[in-house]
Amino acid sequence: MIPYGRHDLDDQDIAAVIEVLKSGPLTQGPVVPAFEIEVANFVGARFGCATNSATSALHVACLALGVGVGSRVWTSSNTFVASANCALFCGAQIDFVDIDLDTHNMCMSDLERKLRMAESKGELPDVLIPVHFAGLSCDMRKLACLSQRFGFRVIEDASHALGAKFNDERVGCCRYSDITIFSFHPVKMIACGEGGMALTNDENLIEKMRRLRSHGVTSDQDQLIDYQDQNQWYYQQLNLGYNYRMSDIHGALGLSQLKKLNQFISIRRKKASYYDEVFNEMDDLGIINSHPEGYESSLHLYVIRQKQNGKTSKQMLDFLRGCGITANLHYIPVYLHPYYRGLGFEQGHCLNAELYFRTATTIPLHTQLTPDQQEYVIQQIKNFQAVV
Ligand X SMILES: *Cc1c(COP(=O)(O)O)cnc(C)c1O
Binding site for ligand X (CB under 6 A): 53-55, 79-80, 82-83, 131, 157, 159-160, 183, 185, 196
Find, among 232, 209, 212, 204, the residue nearest to 220 by Cα.
232
User: How far apart are CB 206 and ligand X at their closest, in Å?
Assistant: 19
Contact 296, 46 (CB under 8 A): no
Comparison of 185 and 213: residue with beta carbon closer to ligand X: 185
**What is the bridge-based pairing of β-strands 285-286 and 302-306?**
antiparallel
Comparison of 61 and 377: residue with beta carbon closer to ligand X: 61
Contact 121, 94 (CB under 8 A): no
Comparison of 161 and 325: residue with beta carbon closer to ligand X: 161
Comparison of 185 and 271: residue with beta carbon closer to ligand X: 185
User: How far apart are CB 187 and ligand X at their closest, in Å?
Assistant: 8
Cis (ω within 30 of 0) for the bond into 376?
no
Concatenating the DSSP letter of every residue in 246-280 gives PPHHHHHHHHHHHTTHHHHHHHHHHHHHHHHHHHH
- Its sign, for the CA torsion 327, 192, 168, 152, is positive
**Angle of the 371-386 helix axis to the 261-280 helix axis, nearest 10:** 30
User: How far apart are CB 167 and ligand X at their closest, in Å?
Assistant: 21
Q: Per DSSP, which regions of 165-296 are E strands?
A: 165-166, 169-170, 179-183, 196-200, 217-218, 236-237, 285-286, 295-296
User: How far apart are CB 177 and ligand X at their closest, in Å?
Assistant: 15
Comparison of 163 and 196: residue with beta carbon closer to ligand X: 196
DSSP state of 330: S
Comparison of 35 and 319: residue with beta carbon closer to ligand X: 35
d(CA 22, CA 40): 27
User: How far apart are CB 196 and ligand X at their closest, in Å?
Assistant: 5
User: How far apart are CB 195 and ligand X at their closest, in Å?
Assistant: 7
